[in-house]
């Protein structure tokens, strides 16, 4: 049975200090694709992002810990990516997602959370310059990389390309074109 866009479930964990351009772009474009996108704050209440923009998550992360998602996508930014990397619940979700063979995405500094979980070994990945240095994981520097169920993006400047790649990977090139066309890129 083929999934409809509404059947595709995406989790976007949101940490204080997240890069708002990446978070909002990913959330917006995935919702334009018709996916069910759940924005879950690491804590209860609004999240102040890296440039002071405040985002109100749909619910706290604690409420979705036992749910399954087709994609978990991590926005970058600092210190947001560090909070994602250091949160045991996020680490557990990432490992469970990978073990189930479901898609993972991370942009900018957020691939460091995937590295902490051991999910980047032997994979081609990209990230913000220097973000993966402490993990010893090499970054290709490409705008977007796709490797074995992990999609990574370089930084805020490629947030739209990253989100459109996620859409295409989940729902095909027609879904991507349906979202991208009206953006007048």
Instruction: Convert the pLDDT of each residue in 69-105 to its tens digit.
Output: 999 999 999 999 999 999 999 999 999 999 999 999 9
108 noted as active-site residue: yes
For residues 119 and 43, what is the distance between their CA atoms, to the nearest angstrom? 25
**Rg from Cα positions in the chain:** 15
For residues 146 and 32, what is the distance between their CA atoms, to the nearest angstrom? 22
What averages of pLDDT result for each successive group of 10 residues across the chain (185 residues)? 83 98 98 98 97 98 97 98 98 98 98 98 97 96 97 98 98 97 96
For residues 50 and 142, what is the distance between their CA atoms, to the nearest angstrom? 24
**Catalytic hit among 108, 166, 170, 171:** 108
Q: Count how many Cα atoms sit within 13 Å of the Cα of residue 185 in the half-sphere of its side chain.
A: 11
Q: What pLDDT, on the 0 to 100 scale, is given for residue 1? A: 46
Q: What pLDDT, on the 0 to 100 scale, is given for residue 131? A: 97
Q: CATH class for domain 5-174?
A: alpha beta
Q: What pLDDT, on the 0 to 100 scale, is given for residue 5? A: 85
For residues 156 and 182, what is the distance between their CA atoms, to the nearest angstrom? 21
Distances from the Cα of 38 to the Cα of 13, 123, 124, 153, angstroms: 8, 27, 27, 20
């Amino acid at each position: 049975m083929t999934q409809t866009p509404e059947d595709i479930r995406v989790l976007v964990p949101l940490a204080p200090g997240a890069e708002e351009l990446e978070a909002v772009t990913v959330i917006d474009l995935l919702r334009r694709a018709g996916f069910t996108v759940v924005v879950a704050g690491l804590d209860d209440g609004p999240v102040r992002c890296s440039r002071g923009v405040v985002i109100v998550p749909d619910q706290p992360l604690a409420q979705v810990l036992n749910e399954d998602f087709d994609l978990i996508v991590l926005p970058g930014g600092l210190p947001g990516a560090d909070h994602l990397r250091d949160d045991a619940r996020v680490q557990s979700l990432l490992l469970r997602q990978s073990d189930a063979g479901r898609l993972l995405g991370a942009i900018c500094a957020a691939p460091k959370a995937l590295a902490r979980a051991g999910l980047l070994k032997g994979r081609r990945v990209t990230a913000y310059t220097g973000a993966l240095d402490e993990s010893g994981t090499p970054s290709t520097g490409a705008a977007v990389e796709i490797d074995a169920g992990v999609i990574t993006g370089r930084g805020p400047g490629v947030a739209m390309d990253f989100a459109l790649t996620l859409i295409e990977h989940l729902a095909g090139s027609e879904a991507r074109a349906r979202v991208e066309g009206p953006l007048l890129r």
